[in-house]
Amino acid sequence: MTTVRRAGILTGGGDCPGLNAVIRAVTKTLIFEQGLEVMGIADGFVGLIENRIRLLTPDAVSNILTRGGTVLGTSNKATPRHYPAGKDDAGNTIFQDVTDRVLQHIAEHRIEVLVIVGGDGTMSSAVHLIRHGVHLIGVPKTIDNDLMHTEITFGFQTAVETATEAIDRLHTTAASHHRVMLVETMGRNAGWLALNAGIAGGADVILIPEIPYRLDVIAAFCQQRVAQGKSSTIIVVSEGARPAGGSQTVDQIVSDSFEQIRLGGVSRMLARQIGHATGIEVRDTILGHVQRGGTPCAFDRVLATKLGHAATQLIAAARWDRMVAVQQGKITDVAIEDVADQERQVPLDCQEIQAARGVGTCFGDYPSAVV
Ligand code: F6P
């Protein structure tokens, strides 16, 4: 059993729906069931570096279950190993290792275990702190659903719902104008979000990073649909999708972020190419950060609460450096070290792809018949 008296909690990386549900579950359970004090760390690792740490009371985490974002704040720029510390004469960001500062703040606030809620980048910073003797518990979050060793992350289902609603809306305008409509989802190098929202929204074409596409296949499919009297074509494209033999579309490089590449814009490029190749009117919509915002759906509220609770049970059992995870529908835990810096992509033989192909969805890799 644990002898810990004080824990800390931070949310790192991009926000997602359900973070507040985890903060609430961890804080209330540790206070009510285990009699611990809980310190809230502001803005992810920035708070540990800049010493923005405060005591969380049960009141501070009341009425936040349904709220999107994170009441603690987050950052996908700061990590103790690589913290922006100003600019050089040429205007380039200078980075510094501020691990000592972080360790000093953890000791100063008497934090004996840190709950870190984040994605693969956050888990990689967590491994760095583990190697410096900090006791950590990880909770997986991301709308991308791309964390290794967990079959689902909270936030994903809400993002699927948001993207699906957008696709539903685009169906009606696409049909009215007899257009090809592209919808670009987030997801980085994994197609989970595009695949699931595409299936739920009845997309005619789904393009994901795991399956490089061919423009000639997509163009022929759109033309065939027109020839068969279909009113429109909906193409859901993941931001990480790329043509066979080509590369992903980079929107910007964020030089002071630990993951510098921001993908985006593949739908705009494809819209022009499909329009040019087919003569059909084409429009594109990039869903962007609306997929990350807003209130979590019921599924994510429950999952976040269960994962938060599971994190407290690891603390009770003094089982450090583990990340709670979902495997075969059950909550379990894995070593944080096994999750860091890895991506879980969509397996090509998964049921979702098979089911979508079964109803005639084209994945842009080889010609499919219009059904
Ligand atoms: O990892 C979550 C995510 O929303 C990705 O889907 C997307 O590529 C990225 O973060 C966007 O990051 P930012 O908020 O820095 O633009």
Q: Give pLDDT tens digits for 54-70.
A: 999 999 999 999 999 99
Q: Which atom of ligand 1 is nearest to the CA of 291?
A: 4
Residues 6+ apart with CB under 8 A from 90: none
Segment 79-107 mean pLDDT: 92
Which entry of 43, 144, 300, 333 is annotated as an active-site residue?
144
Q: What is the pTM of this model?
A: 0.96
Mean pLDDT of the chain: 96
pLDDT (0 to 100) of residue 207:
98
**What tens digit of pLDDT does each residue of 213-234 get?**
999 999 999 999 999 999 999 9
Q: Is 242 in the pocket of ligand 1 (CB under 6 A)?
A: no
Show the tokens assigned to 292: 């990350």
**What tens digit of pLDDT does each residue of 141-164 get?**
999 999 999 999 999 999 999 999
Q: Say how many Å lie between the CA of residue 61 and the centre of ligand 1.
A: 26
Return the percentage of the chain with pLDDT > 70, whole number.
100
Short-list 23, 17, 9, 54, CA closest to 309? 23
Nearest residue (by CA) to ligand 1, atom 8, is 188
Quickly list H helices, 63-191.
Answer: 99-108, 120-130, 156-177
Q: Say how many Å lie between the CA of residue 21 and the centre of ligand 1.
A: 20
Return the percentage of the chain with pLDDT > 90, whole number.
91
Show the tokens assigned to 334: 């894995």
**What tens digit of pLDDT does each residue of 296-353 get?**
999 999 999 999 999 999 999 999 999 999 999 999 999 999 999 899 999 999 999 9
Amino acid at residue number 109: H
Q: Is 262 in the pocket of ligand 1 (CB under 6 A)?
A: yes
Q: Say how many Å lie between the CA of residue 174 and the centre of ligand 1.
A: 27
Q: Is 275 in the pocket of ligand 1 (CB under 6 A)?
A: no
- 168 is a catalytic site residue: no
Judge contact between 47 and 331, C-beta under 8 A: no
Q: Say how many Å lie between the CA of residue 186 and the centre of ligand 1.
A: 7
Q: Is 188 in the pocket of ligand 1 (CB under 6 A)?
A: yes
Q: Is 240 in the pocket of ligand 1 (CB under 6 A)?
A: no
Q: Can you tell me which residue has the tokens 């033989």?
A: 349
Quickly list H helices, 244-297.
Answer: 266-278
pLDDT (0 to 100) of residue 259:
81
Q: Is pLDDT of 183 > 90?
A: yes
Show the tokens assigned to 370: 């219009």
Confidence of residue 256 (pLDDT cuts 50, 70, 90): confident
